[in-house]
Amino acid sequence: QVQLVESGGGLVQAGDSLRLSCAASGLGFGNNAMAWFRQAPGKERAFVAVISRGGDRTNYADSVKGRFTISRDDVKKMVYLQMRSLKPEDTAVYYCAARRFTTSTYRDDYQFWGQGTQVTVSS
């Protein structure tokens, strides 16, 4: 049974930093591209960042480029999202997702999802 469990969300102020973690189990972690999506109230779930198998390639949404960094640890089966210079518009539920083999920025391409962790950025 595949499980993705996010943690690290919380309430922060604008300009602060936060690191999200996602622990994976039940899948061949090294064979999966890993991604973060987010969903703000009243909006669709949107792509944030993705990292390839092996971690040699990353891709980011324009809105977070230069502020967020995705990384992975294949030994620990973890993926991280380091978020800096947070803005109120970053407020959302953040989801970890896994996709076999290749990266994608499309939500429907991902087979496995976590339950999400809330990030709230106050102004």
Q: What is the mean pLDDT of residues 20-30?
A: 94
**Between these two residues, 30 and 37, which has the higher pLDDT value?**
37
Residue 119 and residue 10: Cα distance in Å, rounded? 5
User: How confident is the prediction for the chain on average, in pLDDT?
Assistant: 97
- Asked whether the predicted pLDDT for residue 105 surpasses 90, the reply is yes
Q: Which phi and psi angles does 53 have, rounded to 5°? A: -55, 135
21 burial via Cβ count (<10 Å: 0-12, 13-18, 19+): middle
Q: What is the DSSP letter of 37?
A: E
Lowest pLDDT segment from 24-28, 103-107, 112-116, 118-122: 24-28
Question: CA-CA-CA-CA torsion for 73, 16, 12, 113, nearest 10 degrees?
Answer: -30
Provide, rounded to the nearest whole percent, the portion of the chain with pLDDT above 70: 100
Q: How far is CA 123 from CA 57, 83, 91, in A?
A: 33, 16, 11
pLDDT in the model for residue 30: 87
pLDDT tens column, 72-99 = 999 999 999 999 999 999 999 999 999 9
Residues paired with 93 in a beta bridge: 39, 118
